[in-house]
Structures are given as structure tokens and as C-alpha cells.
Amino acid sequence: MSRGRLIAAFVIALGAIASGCASTGSGNSKPNVEPYGPLTFNRADADFYFSQAGQFARTELSKDGAIEVHLKNAPFQLGYNGRQLNLALAQTPISEISTDPKGFKASRLSGPMSGGREPNSDELLVYSGREWSDGNTEFSDRTSKQASPMQGFQHAYQINRIAFVADEQLTLDSIKGVLHGFIVVYKQPERKNRDIMPVRLIFDGHGAAH
């Protein structure tokens, strides 16, 4: 399965220069200083949610401004209201913007940075966090396995597997700890900083939720 990533991104600290406007299919973004978010979650008509066993996963806003999602080591769903959702995750902390060897700046959340997957995929990609080319997983009807959205949401997708690009030994069943990254809910063709927030998925190392 190809997980190629075509364009790179420019590394920044959170709260410094962030990505500007770019279409869902373009990696060439002009940096600006607009703040991220806020995004809403886990209520009807919110921007997005994570759920397990038919219930919202425990999700909270951390002191440093990241959205933290607590998950069991079991299949889960991701739902949202919007045109498309991209989720850039890594095993180590990353910035939303990175740079390629030629100095080209782009968001890890951009369309060309979406990793290759089979159509109707139930897989979530997780990158190492060490490469400029580390990208994202796109969640849309053309890429991902659809699920029944919770009330008040337009779209939902099933995640049964996590593919660790740099460590094939790790799986959804075996991971314990934190995955770091950024989430964007596209509400228009252009990516806006108000539609982006840092996110952490925290796995407790235990099985299915009860």
C-alpha cells in the first residue's frame, strides 16, 4: 500500500507562524499569525467527535490549548460537520507546518500531504514525527469507511486499524501512550486557522470500552 506524501511543511512552534489559506488539494500555503481554533466537540452540531461503544470518548481541552481525546485500545469512530476532515498524527510532538529540503513551506494537513490508503479504508495513519514529509489521514466519503453519524453530525467514519508508518510492530491493540498532531475540519475549500487545532489521542493500553 502506498503511503507516499507529495509535499512538505515548515516547522513552527504552536502559537507562532501558522498556516494560512490553502485549498484542501494544495500544499502551498502563505504563513500568517492567525490563532488556531477554537473547534467544538462532543455535542450535537459541534465540529467533530470521537466515539467508542456508541458514546462520546472523553475529550477535554488541555492547559496548553490542545484537544485531548482518551481512547481504549479498540475500534472507534470519528465524526464531523463540514466538507472534509484531515488528521495529522505522529509518535512525537510535531508542528502543523514543516519544510522540505528546498525550503518549500506547507501544512501537514494539506491535501497533497494525505497518505495513500485503499478506498473505503478503516485505517488511521500515524507518522514518526521525524520527517518533513510526515502528513495526514483524510476522512471523506471517497477515502474512508463510512459509519452512522451520531445525532447532530453529518459524517462519520470507522477506524478499526492504526498503521504506524515508521513502526509496523505497533498496532491499535498494542499502543499505550500519546499520539500528537493537528486536526482540521474543512468548512470551505480553503483551509483556515480557525478550523485547525492541536490534538492528542491518549490510549490507556486497555481493551474495548464497556
pLDDT in tens, 46-64: 999 999 999 999 999 999 9
State mean pLDDT over 2-17.
Answer: 31
Average pLDDT, the chain: 86
pLDDT of 210 over the 50 cut: no
* pLDDT greater at residue 70 or residue 27: 70
Contact 200, 71 (CB under 8 A): no
Q: What would the DSSP string read from start to end of 137-157?
A: EEESTTTB-B-PPPTT-SEEE
What is the mean pLDDT of the segment spanning 147-157?
97
Question: Which three three-digit cell numbers place residue 102?
Answer: 528546498
What residue has cell string 493500553? 205
Query: How far are the Cα atoms of 24, 44, 86 from residue 56, in angstroms, in the given order?
Result: 27, 11, 19
pLDDT at 23: 52
Distance separating the N- and C-terminal Cα atoms of the chain = 33
Question: Which of 5-9, 14-18, 140-144 has maximum average pLDDT?
Answer: 140-144
Residue with cell 507562524: 17
* 182-201 pLDDT, tens digit each: 999 999 988 999 999 999 99
Cα dihedral sign, 32-18-78-129: positive
pLDDT tier, 205 (very low <50, low <70, confident <90, very high otherwise): confident
CA distance 129 to 202: 16
**Residue that wins the pLDDT comparison between 187 and 27:** 187
